[in-house]
């Protein structure tokens, strides 16, 4: 009889476990979303430094803004890079012509 009184139904224990664990899972998910997003933005920005990738991507000046993911690029340097973009995009094409 005592064992029956002490036993908690499985569904109640499962609900209790979910309530205990859920805040930790929510925190982990929120942190991962931020960290993964930051890392992905940095990797996307880093592609702009590969002439082969730039040649296939043909990025616009709007895509140069993703370089702000790196703390060493301020607004002034990003503006200058946007101005240089047409020249930068022409280099891989010139290299192909030269090598062929």
The per-residue pLDDT for range 31-47, each reduced to its tens digit, is 888 788 888 888 888 88
Residue 79: both structure tokens together? 């503006």
Per-residue pLDDT averaged across 71-77, rounded?
91
Cα–Cα dist 90/81, whole Å: 14
The per-residue pLDDT for range 2-22, each reduced to its tens digit, is 555 556 688 888 899 999 999
In order of 13, 38, 99, the CA distances from 7 in angstroms are 10, 47, 79
């Amino acid at each position: 009889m005592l064992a029956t009184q002490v036993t908690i139904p499985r569904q109640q224990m499962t609900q209790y476990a979910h309530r205990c664990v859920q805040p930790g899972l929510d925190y982990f998910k929120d942190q991962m979303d931020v960290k993964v997003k930051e890392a992905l933005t940095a990797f996307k920005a880093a592609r702009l430094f590969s002439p082969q990738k730039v040649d296939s991507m043909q990025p616009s000046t709007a895509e140069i803004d993703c370089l702000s993911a790196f703390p060493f690029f301020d607004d002034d340097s990003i503006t200058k890079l946007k101005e240089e973009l047409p020249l930068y995009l022409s280099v891989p094409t010139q290299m192909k012509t030269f090598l062929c």
